[in-house]
Structure 1
Amino acid sequence: MGRQGSQLKINPKKFGNLQKPCMREMMSFLSCLALTQGDDKRCSRQKSLLSACMDAQTTNKRKPWGSINYHLQRLSRGKK
């Protein structure tokens, strides 16, 4: 009951967004938390910047032609 050898699967997270768009905001928020011993009320500005950056990233929709794994499954069905 193991994985079949003919199925291909690619982890899209490895090849996805190589840039880390909200890294600067996250680092500033984490450093503020470290300086204030976890008091997030004092870090409200950094927290709002981080949440705005993350909200901007989630508005990107998936591409209409599907994921790479979907196309790999279609190719493997055609071989049979």
Structure 2
Amino acid sequence: MGRKSGSLYINPKKFGGGTQQKACMKEMTAFLNCLALNKNNDEKCLKQVEILNSCVDELKTKPKKPWGSINFHLQRLSRLK
């Protein structure tokens, strides 16, 4: 389940990677807080739903990185040895 000892590995979170997973976290938190304050009545949270939907739609239109992750390429390099 773990990594092999001696293999190369870079934590992408330290280098600014992994931001796409957290891109709409503020909008999701605002929506969930609104639901909690209004006792799960989502009719009162339409503004937060629209903001969250627009954020998710923006993520769909952003192009993904054409190259794989840095760890994928490190693994390829280690196989060449």
TM-score, with structure 2 as normaliser = 0.68
Give distance in 2, aligned partners of 1:53 and 1:2: 34
The Cα of 1:39 is off from its aligned counterpart by: 1.0
Match of 2:4?
4
- 5+ long unaligned stretches in structure 1: none
**How much has 1:3 moved relative to structure 2?**
4.4
Q: Which has the higher helix share?
A: 2
Q: CA deviation at 1:71?
A: 0.9
**What does 1:35-46 align with in structure 2 at a 5 Å threshold?**
35-46=37-48
Could you tell me how far 1:11 is from its partner in structure 2? 4.2
Structure 2 counterparts to residues 19-58 of structure 1, below 5 A: 21-58=23-60
How far apart, in 1, do the equivalents of 2:25 and 2:39 lie? 21
Aligned partner of 1:62 in structure 2 is 64
TM-score, normalised with respect to structure 1? 0.68
RMSD: 2.7
Residues 13-64 of structure 1, C-alpha deviations (whole Å, 9 max, x = no match)? x24129x543442333222112211111221221121111122123223211
SS at match of 1:43: helix
Task: For 1:3 and 1:26, locate their aligned partners in 2 and report how far apart those are by CA, in whole Å.
Answer: 33
Structure 2 counterpart of 1:74, from 69, 72, 76: 76
Q: How many residues align?
A: 77
Specify the code of the residue in structure 2 equivalent to 1:49. Answer: I
Detail structure 1 runs of 4+ shifted over 6 Å in the superposition: none
